[in-house]
Amino acid sequence: MHILVIEDESKVAKALRDGLASEGYNVTVAQTGEDGFFLAMSQTFDLILLDLMLPGRSGIEILNGIRRKNRDVPVLILTAKDAIEDRVLGLDSGADDYLVKPFAFPELLARIRALTRRGRIDLALKLKVANLEMDCVTRKVTRDKRDILLTGKEFELLEYLMRHQGHVVSREMLVHDVWHVTDRATPLDNVIDVHVNRLRAKMDADFDNKLLHTIRGVGFILKEGDEP
Ligand code: CA
């Protein structure tokens, strides 16, 4: 999996290169808009991580160039906090998703996984974590063969957690991917807590080995084993 990182801040670029390489990705870094544009147009990548504020050529120009060439490579844009207009412009210009800086690395990994998985038709229809099982077709959930009845939202939340099992899911990710809210003016922390608590009561309360763990200040993780 080859990722092109277009980012001019040396520190951020290095952190991205090292972090992604340690996850097994093959990473190429471009630190100017010109280099990034040239690489994006001349080589094939599985994903492009694109900073919008670049010297030379802006991220939006690069994105326009890529889409004009009809290249359907997934593009994840990195935007500064509060630069809502950039984000909108980026999505309008054909970006697939965005992350607001500073972001948590696990969140970036999750977005990359989601974008590179998209389009694959073998998305698992049966999910399993320890003795918790979900059938995404019949929408039946069981734990230790006992039925667990969930509301629509609880099901969606659990499916998301199961698809990210073993990985930290942040509140940002839940807001974005489960509640589908892109406007953070709406505070959803309480709503998320209520749903997580109800889900936990239904799937974990009666069992000694807990699967759903809260990671204070970060988010949640669904995994086997008592330690979060
Ligand atoms: Ca920049």
pLDDT of residue 15: 94
- 91: domain CATH number? 3.40.50.2300
Domain final residue pick, 74, 98, 117: 117
**Which pairing describes strands 75-80 and 47-51: parallel, antiparallel, or unpaired?**
parallel
Give the domain range for residue 56.
Answer: 2-117
Structural domain contains residue 228? no
CA of 78 relative to ligand 1 center, distance in Å? 9
190 and 134 inside one domain: yes
Task: Give the number of domains in the chain.
Answer: 2
DSSP for 61-87?
HHHHHHHHTT----EEEEEETT-HHHH
CA of 7 relative to ligand 1 center, distance in Å? 6
CA of 125 relative to ligand 1 center, distance in Å? 40
CA of 69 relative to ligand 1 center, distance in Å? 24
pTM score: 0.55
32 and 80 inside one domain: yes
pLDDT of residue 119: 44
CA of 53 relative to ligand 1 center, distance in Å? 4
pLDDT by 10-residue block (mean), the chain, 228 residues? 94 94 92 93 91 89 87 87 76 87 90 74 76 92 96 94 91 86 73 95 94 93 80
Q: Which strands sit side by side in the sheet containing 126-129, from one edge to the other?
A: 126-129, 132-135, 140-143, 146-148
CA of 116 relative to ligand 1 center, distance in Å? 24
